[in-house]
Chain A
């Protein structure tokens, strides 16, 4: 079931094309990675979802119908460029932001208590924001985003400003939110966390969508016949024309373990490779290398330019 979709959305600012016929569909209860280089148009798309700005053409759908202004209360947004009122007290501010999202003061208070206890920050309630460190402010901001239990959450670089321990905590919270049924659009340049979190990704470059699909499938797609092999024995790359038949990426032989990283050409297959290998050595492990999202990202964006 799709919770959110954008169909053929275009947006132009003055002379600059921000989005060109972009379509995405986000399934309910999944984490959707919105990727792309800086200035590709991600923020514009996110602002359209938040109804901060409207598309020039195309349509935006939420929960099976066109997105309406009232849907704002169902959406939580943590922008990349974020901040709080520096001179306002933490608790008061969180209450205010919760109320702006449509919670009553009472509900907001109740939810805030739960979150503040969970994050162990109850003592900060009466502190001014300017007295908190950057990481502390980010925690408060995260709470303010999820406080009203939105069905759709948009996190833009949620880990910036967090130390590894807190980043890990936020990762767990995001996974927990998905488990509780929330749908999440996640925008980041940290490809490791994309692999870890995202069920589905879309890659936008130069205002156009250039890649879209489930994370696992995309990585499979960008496999390039590379295998990591560890073995016993001596492997001579000059016998049977191994060196000309395959591309040797890495080859180490020493007392503790012998390793080989090898790529076969298109048209060949792993059976051929194994055949050529077992003639000479005893194979301990044989693994296909799946490219990291980082590699996929760089490859796809470079191809596009």
Chain B
């Protein structure tokens, strides 16, 4: 037992002291937030290009009625100029040419001529503006025909935004306001984190086993400890590295969160959110209801059972990791070179990738049969169950899933331990599945 602690200690300290571990731990939260905010930032940067669009209006419906916005300017051109521009768009100073044919009101179609592809947001902007003008004209026509006073305002007043509150009735009728959106986001984040952890740290176990085999230190070590102790020591040591990283991220996130909170006191949060939202185009009109919603969400985050969520995360992380890393260790022991890993990796990666696919549907329908079964089956349960937990899972399902996971893990470690024990001392040709099967039969 003392020896297994020594192994755990070595596996842990050599990895935690590595520069790459420290850098990755510090950089990851920055990268993550960059990944969330950069697209919006780039989108806003892109908009700062001023585009002048020549408009030839053969129908005369729009003359002077397409309003230029900050970065998209409209210039009306007569027919003669239109022909010149059309023949040589390159020489003209226009970004594009908008052609409205005389029969526009019948065809309901306009054309944008340009040299390069028109960005999606420019196209939709023009579309919106043209639709707006036509709708306004139609409205005016209706108003004129029916002669009802203030019809326009009355119709506008019929537009309504409905809030749907989702309220969960707990035991004893206690009602809790929940948010499906938050559930989905949290389910996605936690499920995905388990996926990343299993892959990153599982591969680390495999590399560690291969390193020992390739450097031929393994025979020296297993003349001092049992192969099983070496394997478990490595798996547990690397699990601790993963938990350390997770803990550091939680602390880092908490520090950043509280620092930014003191930086923007009071309503700052809502403003920040508004800023982010306005960067995407159609959010502009919805900013007000979105803001309400965001405030709602912040109040509802408090209703999530974080201690349960975090402890389940730790359980399923450890369970899933142990299950898969023991398989990764067996693969590492069976092969001599990383190139040979491919063939044996497939049966391991397949259920992990399946889990992620099922998780996507599970966050949409956490109570459905697919989500249920895959959150019970041990190979997919760590990821899928984690995605369900934010929505609330009956205790018996959680318990069943956990028991099955532990049982499978114990069985799997027994099997992989046998493969590992034989594999680490086998050099030379790459073993076949049949040979690996035979290894299971060997007596120690």
A residues adjacent to B (C-beta < 8 A): 13-14, 47, 50-54, 56, 69, 72, 75, 77-79, 81-88, 96-97, 99-101, 141, 144
Contacting residues, chain A, for B211 (C-beta < 8 A): 85-86
Asked if A144 contacts B223 (CB within 8 A), the reply is: no
Asked if A82 contacts B443 (CB within 8 A), the reply is: no
> Complex Cα distance A85/B211, Å?
8
Asked if A83 contacts B216 (CB within 8 A), the reply is: yes
Contacting residues, chain B, for A51 (C-beta < 8 A): 223
CB distance from B337 to the nearest CB of A (A): 16
Q: Assuming A14-B438, A88-B14, is B219 touching A100 (CB within 8 A)?
A: no
Asked if B444 contacts A54 (CB within 8 A), the reply is: yes
Contacting residues, chain A, for B217 (C-beta < 8 A): 82-85
Asked if A50 contacts B10 (CB within 8 A), the reply is: no
Interface centre among B223, B224, B444 (most CB of A within 10 A): B223
> Complex Cα distance A51/B212, Å?
19
Contacting residues, chain A, for B314 (C-beta < 8 A): none
Considering the complex, give the chain B residue whose CB is closest to the CB of A85: B217
Contacting residues, chain B, for A77 (C-beta < 8 A): 219-220, 223
Asked if A72 contacts B224 (CB within 8 A), the reply is: yes
CB distance from B209 to the nearest CB of A (A): 13
Q: Assuming A52-B425, A56-B443, A100-B6, is B215 touching A84 (CB within 8 A)?
A: yes
Asked if B215 contacts A81 (CB within 8 A), the reply is: no
| Interface residue range, chain B | 20 to 34
> Complex Cα distance A173/B211, Å?
31
Check: B225 CB closer than 8 A to any chain A CB. yes
CB distance from B18 to the nearest CB of A (A): 9
Contacting residues, chain B, for A99 (C-beta < 8 A): 6
Check: B108 CB closer than 8 A to any chain A CB. no
Check: B118 CB closer than 8 A to any chain A CB. no
CB distance from B211 to the nearest CB of A (A): 8
**When A and B form their complex, which 4 residue pairs have the shortest distance between CB atoms, in order from nearest?**
A83-B216, A83-B215, A100-B224, A77-B223
Asked if B216 contacts A50 (CB within 8 A), the reply is: no
Check: B396 CB closer than 8 A to any chain A CB. no
Pick the residue among B6, B212, B223 that contacts A75 (CB under 8 A). B223
5 A-B pairs besides A75-B223, A78-B220 with CB distance below 8 A are A14-B438, A47-B425, A56-B443, A83-B217, A85-B14
Contacting residues, chain A, for B14 (C-beta < 8 A): 85, 87-88
Contacting residues, chain B, for A52 (C-beta < 8 A): 219, 222-223, 227, 425
CB distance from B212 to the nearest CB of A (A): 8
Check: B129 CB closer than 8 A to any chain A CB. no
Check: B427 CB closer than 8 A to any chain A CB. yes
> Complex Cα distance A50/B224, Å?
8
Pick the residue among A69, A75, A79 that contacts B219 (CB under 8 A). A79
> Complex Cα distance A6/B443, Å?
18
Asked if B442 contacts A13 (CB within 8 A), the reply is: yes
Contacting residues, chain A, for B63 (C-beta < 8 A): none
Q: Assuming A96-B6, A100-B224, A100-B225, is B444 touching A82 (CB within 8 A)?
A: no
Asked if A72 contacts B220 (CB within 8 A), the reply is: no
Asked if B219 contacts A82 (CB within 8 A), the reply is: yes
B residues adjacent to A (C-beta < 8 A): 3, 6-7, 10, 14, 211-212, 214-217, 219-227, 425, 427, 438, 442-444
Considering the complex, give the chain B residue whose CB is closest to the CB of A75: B223
Asked if A100 contacts B3 (CB within 8 A), the reply is: yes
Asked if A82 contacts B223 (CB within 8 A), the reply is: no
CB distance from B420 to the nearest CB of A (A): 13
> Complex Cα distance A56/B444, Å?
9
Q: Assuming A53-B444, A100-B3, is B220 touching A82 (CB within 8 A)?
A: yes
CB distance from A71 to the nearest CB of B (A): 11
> Complex Cα distance A53/B216, Å?
17
- The contact sample of 7 A-B pairs, CB cut-off 8 A, is A13-B442, A50-B222, A52-B227, A81-B427, A83-B220, A87-B14, A141-B220
Contacting residues, chain B, for A144 (C-beta < 8 A): 220
Considering the complex, give the chain B residue whose CB is closest to the CB of A56: B443
Asked if A72 contacts B223 (CB within 8 A), the reply is: yes
Contacting residues, chain B, for A53 (C-beta < 8 A): 444
CB distance from A142 to the nearest CB of B (A): 12
> Complex Cα distance A88/B15, Å?
11
Contacting residues, chain A, for B225 (C-beta < 8 A): 100
Considering the complex, give the chain B residue whose CB is closest to the CB of A97: B220
CB distance from A124 to the nearest CB of B (A): 17
Contacting residues, chain A, for B425 (C-beta < 8 A): 47, 52
> Complex Cα distance A72/B224, Å?
6
> Complex Cα distance A81/B425, Å?
10
CB distance from B418 to the nearest CB of A (A): 12
Considering the complex, give the chain A residue whose CB is closest to the CB of B216: A83
> Complex Cα distance A98/B138, Å?
91
Contacting residues, chain A, for B215 (C-beta < 8 A): 83-86
> Complex Cα distance A97/B7, Å?
10
Pick the residue among B214, B220, B226 that contacts A79 (CB under 8 A). B220
> Complex Cα distance A156/B14, Å?
30
Asked if B216 contacts A100 (CB within 8 A), the reply is: no
Considering the complex, give the chain A residue whose CB is closest to the CB of B9: A96
Considering the complex, give the chain B residue whose CB is closest to the CB of A47: B425
Asked if A54 contacts B3 (CB within 8 A), the reply is: no
Considering the complex, give the chain A residue whose CB is closest to the CB of B213: A83
CB distance from B421 to the nearest CB of A (A): 9
CB distance from B210 to the nearest CB of A (A): 12
> Complex Cα distance A49/B184, Å?
58
Contacting residues, chain B, for A14 (C-beta < 8 A): 438
Interface centre among B6, B14, B220, B225 (most CB of A within 10 A): B220
CB distance from B140 to the nearest CB of A (A): 79
CB distance from A103 to the nearest CB of B (A): 11
Q: Assuming A13-B442, A100-B6, is B224 touching A82 (CB within 8 A)?
A: no
Contacting residues, chain A, for B443 (C-beta < 8 A): 54, 56
Asked if B6 contacts A50 (CB within 8 A), the reply is: no
Contacting residues, chain B, for A13 (C-beta < 8 A): 442
